[in-house]
A and B are shown apart, each in its own frame.
Chain A
Amino acid sequence: NAGVTQTPKFRILKIGQSMTLQCTQDMNHNYMYWYRQDPGMGLKLIYYSVGAGITDKGEVPNGYNVSRSTTEDFPLRLELAAPSQTSVYFCASSSWGGNTEAFFGQGTRLTVV
């Protein structure tokens, strides 16, 4: 039972490079989320999706893009990486986003140098 799977686990990017963080879930959840966690801070919502084909911005969307072509996958794209995007990124999913818990992946630690 895989749950939420994120790849890669670690990545070092140079300023200006681009990359895609992959996230897939096998629980047939409708809702998916991307969060970032900076040192000493809580989790900040970047983007979320309520179903395939539907995405919306969270609290800190600048510098990121997402797509949701299938129920299972919710990749996060970083264009023109900046040092401020150095963080740990978590993908999560929930069945319908209401009175239910979200399940998280293991995280991707990204460093931009």
Chain B
Amino acid sequence: DQQVKQNSPSLSVQEGRISILNCDYTNSMFDYFLWYKKYPAEGPTFLISISSIKDKNEDGRFTVFLNKSAKHLSLHIVPSQPGDSAVYFCAASARDSGTYKYIFGTGTRLKVLA
């Protein structure tokens, strides 16, 4: 059972335009959401996060939106740059039996075209 879903395996966007990456989740107990970026042959690196008590968090060109009623979050990158080309993973965490674990989606490969 995939608790965190990224239904778009890939996305291509022109440089300077907006990139929107989507993520859906099924577990209403998730209370913290994260986006990670991964380049080939490297480990994932943290990008931005949002707590379930907020609906928006912004950091420079990156904004994450959370819609709790729809169990949906999205990552907006504006403006997109060629260096943003990578695989983006959505992750969620919840307290489970007294501990926290991160559950990851399958990733979306973003290609920003120059």
Asked whether A31 lies within 8 Å of B4 as measured between CB atoms, the reply is no
Asked whether A33 lies within 8 Å of B102 as measured between CB atoms, the reply is yes
A21 CB to nearest B CB, Å: 13
The interface-forming segment of A65-73, A79-87, A98-106 is A98-106
Take A4-B43, A40-B9, A43-B89 as given contacts and tell me if A102 and B102 are in contact as well, using a CB distance cutoff of 8 Å: yes
A32-68 interface mask toward B, CB cutoff 8 Å, 1 = contact, 0 = none?
Answer: 0101000011111100101000001010000000000
Task: Report the interface size for chain B: residues with CB under 8 A from the other chain.
Answer: 27
* Contact partners of A92 in chain B: CB under 8 A: 43, 102
- Chain B residue with the shortest CB-CB distance to A101: B46
Other-chain contact of B51, A33, A44, A99, A101 (Cβ < 8 Å): A99
In the complex, whether A90 has a CB less than 8 A from a CB of chain B is yes
Asked whether B46 lies within 8 Å of A102 as measured between CB atoms, the reply is yes
In the complex, whether A75 has a CB less than 8 A from a CB of chain B is no
* Contact partners of B102 in chain A: CB under 8 A: 33, 45, 92, 102
Other-chain contact of B49, A101, A104, A106, A107 (Cβ < 8 Å): A101
A56 CB to nearest B CB, Å: 7
Task: Report the interface size for chain A: residues with CB under 8 A from the other chain.
Answer: 27
- Chain A residue with the shortest CB-CB distance to B109: A40
Asked whether A48 lies within 8 Å of B99 as measured between CB atoms, the reply is yes
Asked whether B93 lies within 8 Å of A42 as measured between CB atoms, the reply is no
- Considering only residues 26-83 of chain B, those with a C-beta below 8 Å from chain A are 31-32, 34, 36, 41-46, 49, 51
* Contact partners of A33 in chain B: CB under 8 A: 101-102
Asked whether A48 lies within 8 Å of B46 as measured between CB atoms, the reply is no
Asked whether A41 lies within 8 Å of B43 as measured between CB atoms, the reply is no
In the assembled complex, the Cα of A80 lies from the Cα of B6 at a distance in Å of 33
In the assembled complex, the Cα of A55 lies from the Cα of B41 at a distance in Å of 28
- Chain B residue with the shortest CB-CB distance to A102: B102
Asked whether B100 lies within 8 Å of A97 as measured between CB atoms, the reply is yes
A contact set with B: CB distance below 8 Å: 4, 31, 33, 35, 40-45, 48, 50, 56, 58, 90, 92, 96-99, 101-107
